Amino acid sequence: MMNSADYKYLLFDLDGTLVDSVADLTTSLNLLADELGHPHLPPEHVRTIVGDGATKLIKRAYGEENYQREQLFRFLAIYGEHLLDHTCCYQGIEELLQSHPADRMALVTNKPHSLTIELLEGLGIARHFKVIFGGDSFAEKKPHPLPVQRALTALGADPAQAVMIGDHHTDLHSGKGAGTATCFCAYGLGHTGGLEPDFQVTASTELIKLFPGTGK
């Protein structure tokens, strides 16, 4: 395995990796809970159910037995109105993105693509990524390797020269399945699911030390 600084291509998850979105996700889930007659969820619980896309988020929030597809559309509408109320980049992330050329970076998230673009543009970081794929960009989402494979193709990247960086076992599974190295962000929302990442950080500020870049 190469030294972490030698990887040419960086692929990132979004929520829990680049941005802290728990407050706005909690607000949106609880506004929908009011409409559905469900109790509010504390942020601490919301942190534990993020990472597998909006459909699973809704099912985990209100119970799979209560799920109706209309709830998903309503949640996405509400979340779209609160997407940028409090969401922000973790400390050191903007510096990390600025230290690498955009044509070597991709974002692969399970968040819907339209909301992903709106969020990235609202935070002023969309320009840092040549490739941006959401959970609805393909027939499969993470942990399936397909989104990472497509991102590698779009970057023109050799998997052996790329690392998938994320805070959830879905990111590790997707990266490993696509042949990339993996980096687990323990400061985020998820867990490794028992997988062993190639690299691990406990604070967002450690990422730029692992992947310092060469400037632009």
Q: Which pLDDT belongs to residue 1? A: 72
13 catalytic, yes or no? yes
Q: Which pLDDT belongs to residue 158? A: 98
| Residue of 6, 13, 52, 171 marked active site | 13
pLDDT in tens, 70-121: 999 999 999 999 999 999 999 999 999 999 999 999 999 999 999 999 999 9
Domain co-membership, 175 together with 130: yes
Taking a C-beta distance cutoff of 8 angstroms, is the pair 57, 28 a contact?
no
Residue 48, SS3?
A: coil
Domain co-membership, 140 together with 179: yes
pTM given for the model: 0.95
Read off the CATH number of the domain in which 113 is found.
3.40.50.1000
Chosen domain end from 67, 82, 97:
82
Instruction: Count structural domains, the chain.
Output: 2
What DSSP line would sit under 53-106, residue for residue?
A: -HHHHHHHHH-GGG--HHHHHHHHHHHHHHTTSS-EEPTTHHHHHHTS-GGGEE
Taking a C-beta distance cutoff of 8 angstroms, is the pair 171, 182 a contact?
yes
Sign, CA dihedral 159-10-76-118, equals: negative
Q: Which pLDDT belongs to residue 215? A: 53
Chosen domain end from 61, 82, 103:
82
Show the domain range for 44.
22-82
Residue 215 lies in a domain: no
